[in-house]
Amino acid sequence: MKAAPVHKAFKQYSDTITHLLCHTGQHYDEKMSKIFFEELELPQPDFYLGVGSGSHAEQTARIMIAFEKVLLNEKPDLIIVYGDVNSTVACSLVASKLGIKIAHVEAGLRSFDRTMPEEINRMVTDVLADLLFVTEKSGMDNLLREGISKEKMFFVGNVMIDSIVYYLPKVSASTIFSTLGVQKNNYILVTLHRPSNVDSKGNLREILETLNALSHQVPVIFPVHPRTKKNIESNGLNTLVGKNIVVTEPLGYIDFLALIKDARLIITDSGGIQEESTFLNVQCLTACENTERPATVIVGTNRLVGTDWGTIRNVALETLNGNKKNGAIPEFWDGSSAQRIAEIVNNIF
Active site residues per annotation: 193
Asked if 107 and 126 count as a contact pair (C-beta separation under 8 A), the reply is yes
Distances (CA, A) of 95 to 4, 16, 88, 190: 22, 22, 11, 37
Question: Beta strand pairing status for 22-23 and 47-48?
Answer: parallel
d(CA 128, CA 206): 40
DSSP 184: T
Q: Could you give phi then psi for residue 184, rounded to 5 degrees?
A: -60, 145
**Cβ–Cβ < 8 Å for 344, 12:** no
Q: Which amino acid is at 33?
A: S
Q: Distance of CA 133 to CAs 3, 107, 345, Å? A: 13, 6, 11
